[in-house]
Amino acid sequence: MIAAPLPAAQFWRLTLLGAVGFLAIWSLAAVSGLTSRTFLPAPWDVVARLSQLLVQPFAGFVLHEHLLSSLKRFGMGFALAVAVGVPLGLLMAWFRWLDRIVTPAFEAVRFVAPIAWVPFAALWFGTGIGGPVLIIFMGAFPPALINTYRGAQQVDRKYIEAARMLGANSWRVMTQVLLPASVPSIVAGLRISAGLGWQSLVGAELIVASSGVGYMMVKGQASVSTATVMCGMLAIGAVGLVIDVVLRRAHAAIEKKRGL
């Protein structure tokens, strides 16, 4: 049985309570003396370091420049995954022969963790932008294709038959029937793609990058600056949350427009 949603006021009170409780436990652990503040800085130490990273370059750049570098790589990899995954998903749903050709290779590749492509990315691209883009693509591509394919498969056949009776060719059926009907499923898939792509980016930057938030965290580890690493984690989480909220609202708007 699914619990009823909480009233908004109660929801935010509980959220605030959880955040305060987490910060309290963190603060107590940091000041207890059980471990050095070098390895477990207090929340106010992380805030102070964050303010420094915003104005003082670390690993070559200030924090927002590292973020822009990461977002550039993410945008390229994610856009490539969407540009390939959505059309290919529609084509596979419409052409059975293409589905049979692509599926074996796709099923073999999609279970490989994106981080496993790091050695290839390093060998092929070094620390250039191509390596992280490849890893992001490998993380974001499977959900984009799968959700597009499933959305197109679930389109009511009567709409397809009606379009064919009116003389629509395969191209028009895919673009004017399958694609519009699959949009909710596609957008839901893009939320998953964006999350996996963003996570994959950070893993890539830990190894095959010379800038970005992940690279900043590696340099923070090398200089034994736990607060810098934590600032990177906070930046990653905040940006990931913003990306998810934007796509979630786009999905909700589409569902509302469709009356679902």
Predicted pLDDT of residue 260: 53
Residue 237 has pLDDT above 80, yes or no: yes
**Lowest-confidence range among 28-37, 47-56, 101-110?**
28-37
Judge contact between 143 and 196, C-beta under 8 A: yes
Judge contact between 140 and 197, C-beta under 8 A: yes
Using the CB atoms, write b or e for 179-215: b if 16+ within 10 Å. Answer: bebbbbbbbbbbbbbbbbbbbbbbbbbbbbbebbbbb
CATH class of 41-257: mainly alpha
Predicted pLDDT of residue 60: 86
Rounded Cα gap, residues 222 and 217, in angstroms: 9
pLDDT band at 6, cuts 50/70/90? low
Residue 159 has pLDDT above 80, yes or no: no
